[in-house]
Chain A
Amino acid sequence: MAIKDYIRQRYFPQMWCPGCGHGIILNSLLRAVDELGLDKNEIVMTSGIGCSARISGYVDFHSLHTLHGRALAFATGVKLSKPELKLLVPMGDGDALAIGGNHFIHAARRNIDITAIVMNNRIYGMTGGQYSPLSGPGKKATTAPYNTIDNQFDVVKLSVAAGATFVARSTAYHVLESIDILKKAIRHKGFSVVEILSQCPTHYGRKNKEGDAAQMLEFQKNTTAKIGSKALENDPALIPRGIFVDIDAPEYCEEYDKIVARAMKQSQNSNLDQTLINIANQTCEK
């Protein structure tokens, strides 16, 4: 399997539960990277904290496992300081949109060339199954024994409103679609957001009676539909999948490079002016 070249095999088997959707997303992501033909040395994967964040330890790229919610802030520093690098930032739903919400909207606003992958399993898995801003109302979680009353974000709408120039959604079930979307997202110059609905059979699945991993994948298939499909037309309650936004806009690092060029030119001109003044003064004194 060509994608085995992209993993740190000595750390496998990976630590996720049997049937965890994050493993499938890792699988899809590696295939996307392989099909794009990217050089491992040009990729930096930055992640936060949580089950989803552990993905960065398993990949044979430059990997930066940071703080809860802060992956995009670290990634911004990496990218701006070395724009030729490719930044992949997988995050959990809580990591990206609860504690990380502020950094999420600002990275989108800047349209900095980073690919954010929201691995949305609608739960805080690592800490034992608390509800997240993506759980939605009426769900059971360890911190919602009487069911949740919180509404959830629509990641796509949030990303679009914040200024992301590539926004897409798929699920762990739809592997071919995910691979295709991830390729486009990574190739896109600007801030890309890919939300991939994932499953946590251990906490979310069990507590909310959504069954085992396979059944949760069936659920992803049955409750979603492609944008523009007949199925979505017939039942608008289905979650739309596909690419919602794919536009070209000035990218942050490129715009800043223009500032650097301008500042350096101005500085050289003013140094030249000063030198001429100095020479003139010395001539006058004589």
Chain B
Amino acid sequence: MATINIPNSQGSTKPEDLIEIDLKQPWLAAILAWALPGLGHIYQGRTGKGILFFVCILGTFFYGLYIGNGKEVYAAVPWEQQYRWQYFCQLGVGLPSTPMLWQRSKSLKDPDHNHTGFMAPPRPGRPYNGPFETPDESGNISRQPSERAKWTLDSHPYAEISTVYTVVAGLLNILVICDAAAGPLLISPQPDKKKKGTDDSSGDNDSTKKKSDD
């Protein structure tokens, strides 16, 4: 069990003004925060912040997934021309993004590389599949060399916007994991030159006091 004391909203470090945060088991809170954004905070009893993180991060992630027709969250596969590095960031959202790993392993095991499904990676083009046909804006059928190219054309320009949303959601959850494990990242108040030496809130870095019971 770990408890930290942080200054209140006025930056006061007087013992009676300090806000005490019970981090409980920080490592467990961090794992829960990764698994479901906000869950680590709810476990620690910081329910308001937990709900805020849950709504903001999962709202961003699922809205991004929605505007990209559910195609923009998938794990990298070797047959893609460009390495899908974005999936490392998307994994930051936790369990809601993990189906892509399962779908990736199913795609790799499929000898015909013809596996499809929710969060499944795009199928390769020739010699396995394709070319992939899709109607363009004028109604003509265009032939795309890979399924990735077809997805980009089908949801243009939302493929890129969707990727940005889901990547940002995953990166934001890294901040949330740190907050669950170690408490808020405090910004030290600026030292007041007039009161320097007489006031407790003089901006020293010892304002956060951490005590560990185990």
A joins B in a complex: no
> Which residues of A are in contact with B by a Cβ distance under 8 Å?
none
